[in-house]
């Protein structure tokens, strides 16, 4: 562990790093990682773009569940891992962050630039007129259309990831676009069965190809959407470092692989790589009562 942290530190301290982050970075902010160690309890198959756009019942079910789940996302805050990445970026060692996460927590932690590969849950797009609106605004409209829904369902099951009984889904009233009046609304995230906009992918490839090193944080690299950047880096001879809890599908391409909790390791890495004191790292090593 110390040895791999040393290797990781010298790679990052050299600068020119591009970060590729996944769900494992946000679990410590209370957002479940369906593919990582805490994902064994996964109960739902993901919504596909095809089902969402073609099946009114699937869409109603999605918005009913999402109306509950949004409360979890909206109150999530960046954790020590996000803050450490922002600090490495501030110090000029990380050039850009590419994230597979849709929670917006990198930006909230102060990272810039951040490319949100799969979009953001806090934005909503109209599939007819193309207007983007805020999820906050949609949440207000959904509350108005479903005044007692959250309180009623939360009383049944407080964990936020609920199997909604059919009668509760049937009682939920989704809303249409508030701008064109009739358009179908969709969170501005890339669903399964949907492709990432090509210009966004091209921008990520360009960043990876110019990088001195690619640092993967909290992704098992299960889907090609993220793994392709690791493959491209490896092909170009750009070193790849991976920090994740558990094995990943990119381990064969990695120069350094560390199996660790990100919220503990990243502040230590930031402190060593920047040669300064990291508030989060300092907190963790301070003896009790000091
Ligand atoms: Zn519209």
Q: Interhelix angle for 80-90 vs 262-274, to 10°?
A: 20
Distance 189 CA to ligand 1 centre (A): 17
Q: Interhelix angle for 56-74 vs 149-156, to 10°?
A: 80
Q: In degrees rounded to 5, what are phi and psi of residue 195? A: -100, 150
The reported pLDDT for the residue numbered 33 is 67
CB count in 10 Å sphere of residue 115 = 16
Q: In degrees rounded to 5, what are phi and psi of residue 190? A: -85, 115
Distance 225 CA to ligand 1 centre (A): 28
pLDDT digits (tens, 9 = 90+) for 86-121: 999 999 999 999 999 999 999 999 999 999 999 999
**DSSP category for residue 191:** P
pLDDT confidence of 285, banded at 50, 70, 90? very low
Please, what is the average pLDDT of the chain?
A: 88
Distance 176 CA to ligand 1 centre (A): 8
pLDDT confidence of 277, banded at 50, 70, 90? low
pLDDT digits (tens, 9 = 90+) for 218-228: 999 988 889 99
Q: Answer whether the bond into residue 4 is a cis peptide, omega within 30°.
A: no
Q: Is the pLDDT of residue 272 over 70?
A: yes
User: Tokens at residue 27, please?
Assistant: 């679990």
Q: What pTM, to 2 d.p., does this model score?
A: 0.87
Distance 186 CA to ligand 1 centre (A): 10
Distance CA 56, CA 267 (A): 46
Q: Is the pLDDT of residue 1 over 80?
A: no
The reported pLDDT for the residue numbered 125 is 96
Distance CA 15, CA 53 (A): 44
Verify whether residue 67 is a known catalytic residue: no
Task: Given the residues 67, 118, 152, 253, select the one marked as catalytic.
Answer: 118
* Maximal CA-CA distance, the chain: 60
pLDDT confidence of 158, banded at 50, 70, 90? very low
Taking alpha carbons only, the member of 8, 21, 30 closest to residue 86 is 21
Distance 223 CA to ligand 1 centre (A): 31
- Note whether 218 and 22 are within 8 A (CB): yes
């Amino acid at each position: 562990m110390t040895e791999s942290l040393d290797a990781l530190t010298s790679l990052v301290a050299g600068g020119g790093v591009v970060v590729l982050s996944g769900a494992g970075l946000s679990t410590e902010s209370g957002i479940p990682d369906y593919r990582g160690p805490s994902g064994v309890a996964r109960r739902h198959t993901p919504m596909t773009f095809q089902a969402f756009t073609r099946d009114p019942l699937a869409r109603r079910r999605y918005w009913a569940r999402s109306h509950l789940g949004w409360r979890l996302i909206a109150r999530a805050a960046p954790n020590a891992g996000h803050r450490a990445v922002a600090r490495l970026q501030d110090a000029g060692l990380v050039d850009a962050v590419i994230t597979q996460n849709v929670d917006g927590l990198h930006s909230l932690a102060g990272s810039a630039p951040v490319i949100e590969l799969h979009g953001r849950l806090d934005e909503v797009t109209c599939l007819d007129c193309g207007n983007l609106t805020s999820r906050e605004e949609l949440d207000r409209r959904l509350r108005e259309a479903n005044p007692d829904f959250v309180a009623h369902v939360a009383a049944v099951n407080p964990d936020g990831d609920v199997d909604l009984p059919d009668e509760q889904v049937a009682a939920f009233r989704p809303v249409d676009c508030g701008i064109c009046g009739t358009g179908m609304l969709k969170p501005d995230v890339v669903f399964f069965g949907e492709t990432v906009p090509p210009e966004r992918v091209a921008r990520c490839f360009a960043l990876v190809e110019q990088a001195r090193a690619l640092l993967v944080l909290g992704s098992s690299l299960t889907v090609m959407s993220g793994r392709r950047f690791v493959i491209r880096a490896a092909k170009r001879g750009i070193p790849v470092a991976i920090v994740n809890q558990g094995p990943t599908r990119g381990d064969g391409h990695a120069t350094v692989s560390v199996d660790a909790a990100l919220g503990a390791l990243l502040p230590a890495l930031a402190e060593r790589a920047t040669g300064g004191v990291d508030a989060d790292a300092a907190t963790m090593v301070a003896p009790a009562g000091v």
